Each structure stands twice: as C-alpha cells, then as structure tokens.
Structure 1
Amino acid sequence: MAARPEGTPIWTDAMFTDVEGAKTFYGDVLGWTFGESSTEFGNYTQAYRDGKAVAAVVPPMPSQDGPPQSAWCLYFSSPDAAATAEKIRSSGGTVLMEPMTVGEFGTMCLAKDPAGVAFGVWQPGVHEGFELEGETGSYAWAEVFTRDAAKSDSFLTSVFGYNAKKMADETMDYKVFDLGGDMPVLGRMEMSDEEFPPEVPSYIQIYFAVDNCDQAVDRAVKLGGRTLFGPMDSPFGRFAAVVDPQGAAFAVIDTRTTEGEMPDIV
C-alpha cells in the first residue's frame, strides 16, 4: 500500500470499560468481527469488516486515573511522529502522550488542538492503517466539531498543511480541508451553544458507512444506544449521529441515499 500523505485520516480506535459489550454492539450495528486481543499491547483488539482491518477497541490502561471516558479517536498519518509533535506544540496545541513506538506496528502520539479537540497521530510501521474505507462497515468521513473555529482552522492548516475551503451555506460555518487535490480529507463544523449544550466538549465525529442508515440506528437503539440527531437526508447521504451504550459518539451514513444539490465549496 502506498503511504498516505501527512494529515490523511489513517486509523481510529476507542477505549471501553466493557470491551465484550463494545464488540457485541459494533458487531451488530456495523457488522464487525474481531481478532485476538494483543496482551503485549494492553489487550488492543482490531475490528474487521470482510476480513479487512477497520478500527480497534481497547480496555482502559490500569494506570488511568478516574473513570474512563469512552470516545472514538481519529489518527492522522505522519511520516515522523516526533516532528509532528513539535509542530503541534509550536502551533498552540498540547501533546497529551509523547510519541511512543508500538512494537513493529508503528509510532503513536495523542494531542489536543488549542480548542480542545483530541486526536491521534500515527506513523505507520507494519500497521499501515485502514484496510477498508468508504465501504459498508468502514470509516467514511470525519468532522472536527469545535467551539473556536478560528483556532482549530489555524492549527490544522499549520500542523498538516491543509488547504481550507468554506462551504457556501449561510446557515452554518462549515469548512473542508484538503491536501492539494480535489478530494477533501476532513470537515470542520463550528459548534453553537443553541445546538450543543455547554458541557459537550469540542471533538471529532467519525462517520462509518452503512447500507441503511435507519436500520443501523434502530439496531443501535435496541442495543442500548441513543440518537443525537437524525436520521436525516443530505446531498452527501442519509446520516445520523448516535451514542453507544458506553458513551462513545459516532455517526453512520448511507452515501448511496442522497437528497438535494451539492453545495458550492469556495
């Protein structure tokens, strides 16, 4: 596989107190199967769709203070995690976990942008990231939801060299980022107090592709999840945001069911 350009979303994982419960939930909602837990690396367990790696789940670290907060983490590709960590600091972000080599798999780093958006950095070794994207049960898209769009925009373009383009829609402040081509790699939505309660922090919302959005939401709710919004139609697909039984938020999208004209990006 060709190396993904720096700043490309490359992997996602989440921490769960009840890993077996997470396997049951995502196995039913997204059709995932799971590999063997890697005891050498904290029982890190990869998820697969049609035999291809799409994500991972992991229990809390024994040394973690306080109750863990389940959340999906998006990792961005980097050819040099240490250099990216320095760019994160110099651009006003915070390095939460210094670059750490994970055996022969690669090197990881955890950080936050100046608006408090948490994310990861992954320098691939033998683990090159997603083996399946844009297909049913796999990563499809991600959006930075931030309460300080100016800080997040400046940070992202500085660290990853993105080009930023605004969606021509007066009803929302939405941008897309690309790496010099026509294909965007990330979205950014400014959070308003009217739509997002003050206790909801800035975060990255990950979208997983599904064949039928409504059916995926129904399965999630029956298994103890809840909807945040949707299902709703858009030019990009029919989508909904949900929270799993352990509190991790994510979205599902059926990209084949679209409605309306694509907005202009300027």
Structure 2
Amino acid sequence: MSTRISSWPAGTPMWVDLGVDDLPAAKAFYTELFGWDYTSGGEDAGGYLLAHVGGRAVAGIGPKQDPSMPTVWTTFLASDDADATAEKVKAAGGQLLAPPFDVMDSGRMTIAADTVGAVFGIWQAGTHIGAERVNEHGSLCWNELHTRDYEPAQDFYAEVFGFDYQDIDGEDMVYSTCLRSGDGREVAGIHHDTQLPEGVPNYWLTWFASDDVSQTADAAEQLGATLLMPVTDTPFGRMTIVQGLQGDVFGVIAVAPSTD
C-alpha cells in the first residue's frame, strides 16, 4: 500500500476516470466490486464524483460530456506544466482533443491522442494531486498502452515525457516498461498487442489491485460483468480483464493483502 499527499512527478500515470451514461449504476457496481465510497467533486463539477478507499481518492466517475463517446477509463499522466506538455504533444505529431483548461482550483488539464490514436489525459495538479492511495485492493496499480504500432508509440512518449524503456522478456510477448525521466522508475508499460480486434483503437488499460483476483472476478460476474480474459496466473501476478456493465474495460491484478 502507498499513500500520496504531494503532486506526482511528471510523466507518472496518476489518475483515472470514467465517463458513463448511468452514473448510479456505475457507482453501485464499483462499490460492490471494490468497496468504494464517494464524495462530490463540488457544485461546479457537473456530477463528477471522487471514489475513495480508506478516505483517500483513488479514481473519478462522472456523467459523459458527450453521450456518443464510448465508456472508457481514461489514464492521466502528471505534468508540471499542462500547456507546455500540450505543445510537446502537438510537436510530436499527437492531437489535442481538448485544449488545456482549468478545473476550478483542482488543477489544469487537457485530453490528447498520441500518434497511434490512443487517448490519454494530462494533469497539472492544483488542490487535487490525483490518486492519493495506490497499490492496494480497489486502487490504481498500473497503466499500460495496448498498441499495434509499438515503436511509433515508444517514440511519441519518449519525446513528450522523456521516457526511456526497459524490454520485458515474455513468451510470444513484446512489452516494455516506461522509465520515468529523472529517477528511472518504472511507471507504465507499452504492450505490442497483436490480438487487438480490427476496428478497436489502440488504448490505455487501467489496472486495479485486488487482494483476491478470483474472488473479485467472481463478484464482477455476479454483478453482470464479463471476463474478457479468464483469471490467469502469470509471471507478473494473478490477473483478469473485466468488461463492466456499461462497456468499461479494466484489468485486475493481485497484490499482497493490506495490513493497514
């Protein structure tokens, strides 16, 4: 378990949020699955909610701004200067889907697409630093880009965030971890996903931690979700991939039970 009270270093995936058509249904699903409770993002937040574990924020859920958009978990990467990072996105060949804007006093953000079409957010912290609790049951523990275009994706994130890469050996798998500029810490992954169905865009996958992946998977199915990958033991831990009730896809991976 890790608790955070200060801003995350630039380049770190530090927040995820979900836009949904049916907010009460999403709240109920994740409450049952992970034990989340919620606080409002404020009067001007348009219904946006902060999900909490142990009294600390772990994710956001809110109504979709555009009903035609898919229901997806969006990964946000930290920035010390959202405007400057947005300019780097454009210089590297990416697109800004929303120009940088202030979110009250919570922070400044933009939504971008990389050169391989995967959408992500950029967050410059104000009063909201992002995830305040990570690497424990029901909280964020990893983010990875699934892409058909492996080397162009690496080039883009190296140019925008200064990432170096560490190749991960695996049978029939091409994967690298993203090493954060400055301290070289592994903060994310890029997976050459050759199994992406035709028409499915490249995307960032959110992984939540679980004390018991089999139990979490069973609970998800009982709530009406679908397992896109069965519970599987891997060198990286026991894991599964879940599609929620509104199409929201996320991974669940084992962590040691918290003693907190």
Q: Answer yes or no: same fold by TM over 0.5.
A: yes
Question: Equivalents in 2 of 1:18, 1:108: separation in Å?
Answer: 24
1:135 Cα offset (Å) = 1.0
Aligned counterpart, 2:197: 197
1:182 Cα offset (Å) = 5.3
1:155 Cα offset (Å) = 0.4
Instruction: Note if contact 1:134-1:209 (Cα within 8 Å) is conserved in structure 2.
Output: yes
1:60-209 matches, within 5 Å, as: 60-61=64-65, 64=66, 67-169=68-170, 171-179=172-180, 180-181=182-183, 183-192=185-194, 195-209=195-209
Question: Equivalents in 2 of 1:120, 1:111: separation in Å?
Answer: 6
User: Structure 2, unaligned stretches of length 5 or more?
Assistant: none
Q: How has the CA–CA distance of structure 1 residues 140 and 121 changed in structure 2, closer, same or farther, with 3 Å as cutoff?
A: same
Question: Equivalents in 2 of 1:124, 1:255: separation in Å?
Answer: 27
Instruction: Note if contact 1:17-1:68 (Cα within 8 Å) is conserved in structure 2.
Output: no
User: Structure 1, unaligned stretches of length 5 or more?
Assistant: 258-266
Q: Provide Cα deviations, 1:43-73, integer angstroms capped at 9, x if missing partner.
A: 1111001111000101022xx3x53311000
Question: Equivalents in 2 of 1:199, 1:224: separation in Å?
Answer: 25
Q: Provide Cα deviations, 1:165-210, integer angstroms capped at 9, x if missing partner.
A: 1112352110111115453100111121xx2211221101111011
1:195-234 matches, within 5 Å, as: 195-234=195-234
Q: Provide Cα deviations, 1:95-130, integer angstroms capped at 9, x if missing partner.
A: 100001011100010001111111000000010111
Question: Equivalents in 2 of 1:37, 1:83: separation in Å?
Answer: 26
Supply the AA of the counterpart residue of 1:19: L
Q: Provide Cα deviations, 1:14-55, integer angstroms capped at 9, x if missing partner.
A: 101100000011111111111135341211111001111000
Question: Equivalents in 2 of 1:36, 1:221: separation in Å?
Answer: 28
Supply the AA of the counterpart residue of 1:186: A
Q: Which runs of 4+ in 1 moved over 6 A?
A: none
What is the TM-score with the length of structure 2 in the denominator?
0.93
What is the TM-score with the length of structure 1 in the denominator?
0.91
Question: Equivalents in 2 of 1:253, 1:140: separation in Å?
Answer: 8
Instruction: Note if contact 1:177-1:186 (Cα within 8 Å) is conserved in structure 2.
Output: yes
Instruction: Note if contact 2:102-2:108 (Cα within 8 Å) is conserved in structure 1.
Output: yes
Moved more, 142-151 or 168-177: 168-177
Instruction: Note if contact 1:237-1:256 (Cα within 8 Å) is conserved in structure 2.
Output: no
Q: Provide Cα deviations, 1:131-161, integer angstroms capped at 9, x if missing partner.
A: 1010111000011001111111000111000
Could you say which structure has the higher strand fraction? 2
When the two chains are superposed, the root-mean-square deviation of aligned CA atoms in Å is 1.4
Aligned counterpart, 1:264: none
Aligned counterpart, 2:8: 4
Say yes or no: does 1:51 pair with 2:55: yes
Instruction: Note if contact 1:27-1:33 (Cα within 8 Å) is conserved in structure 2.
Output: yes
Q: How has the CA–CA distance of structure 1 residues 225 and 171 changed in structure 2, closer, same or farther, with 3 Å as cutoff?
A: same
1:211 Cα offset (Å) = 1.0
Supply the AA of the counterpart residue of 2:162: G
Aligned counterpart, 1:262: none
Question: Equivalents in 2 of 1:36, 1:11: separation in Å?
Answer: 16
Instruction: Note if contact 2:58-2:140 (Cα within 8 Å) is conserved in structure 1.
Output: yes
Aligned to 1:35, the other structure's residue is in SS state: strand
Q: 1:25 aligns with which of 21, 29, 47?
A: 29
Q: How many residue pairs get matched?
A: 252
Supply the AA of the counterpart residue of 2:247: G
